[in-house]
Amino acid sequence: MDWWIVLHIILVAGGIIIASPLGGKISNAIGAGDNKMKWLSSRRERMLAGLLLVCLGGFTVSSHTLWFHNKFHEMGNSAIGCSAFSVFDCANVIANDDYNSAPLLGIPWGVVGMLAFAMLAWLALSIKKEPSAGWVDTHLKAGVGISTIGALVALYLVYVEIFPLEGVFCQYCTIAHIADIASLVIFFKLLNMKNEGNWLTDGEKSSDEKSKTLTEIRTGSKSRGGYVKPTSSGEEE
């Protein structure tokens, strides 16, 4: 049994579960509202945590396909032992020189996947660290855009597996496709949450509110600043 593929599945499936409504039920059951499990304390935090896990799984499985790609070029098709259940045969998919690299770019799909998931993970982590920043909306839209392109690439590669390769599938590639589609769904839901005004939790302030508060503090400091001469009892009379 290939334990590496089990690891990839655990990361991607775990991220999907955490980001789903089931993740909310699990967090409520284990009492995740305290500070020790802040990353599960709200729907936004759960979705971002799940998204990071999905991106991590997508990155690791993409790096694994790149390893297979390099191994094939070093030792030939027989060096890639990744067949399973007669339907899955990543050797015949990854070792196929006609389809194992991105058109025009000429780089292996594994590299493309690693770059894409690394970028998506950076966007998700940036949002998680500063959820009230003014650029969050731009990052969410960028995540939707990148993962949409990835989903279209996934559909193209599935088409290649079904028709030109006559129904031979790469199980590692399939996990990467699922990770990309899951990233698209989560980014899209996060963007909808932001647009609907359900983004910030209780006690959090938006960037505009923080700027307003800071301005008020500075204005108050200036109004209280300087030396005020005390009034004597004679002057009071």
Q: What confidence tens digit (pLDDT) does each residue in 57-67 have?
A: 999 999 999 99
Residue 215: pLDDT above 60?
Answer: no
Which pLDDT does position 111 carry in this prediction? 97
Residue 173: pLDDT above 70?
Answer: yes
Quick check: helix, strand or coil at residue 197? coil
Residues 190/48, Cβ–Cβ less than 8 Å: yes
Residues 109/29, Cβ–Cβ less than 8 Å: no
Of 3-7, 39-43, 136-140, least confident by mean pLDDT is 39-43
Between β-strands 83-84 and 88-89, what pairing exists: parallel, antiparallel or unpaired?
Answer: antiparallel
* Residue from 180, 148, 174, 144 nearest 161 by CA: 174
Q: For each of the domains in the chain, give its residue range(s) and CATH number, in order of start.
A: 3-225 (1.20.1440.130)
Residue 211: pLDDT above 70?
Answer: no
Residues 132/204, Cβ–Cβ less than 8 Å: yes
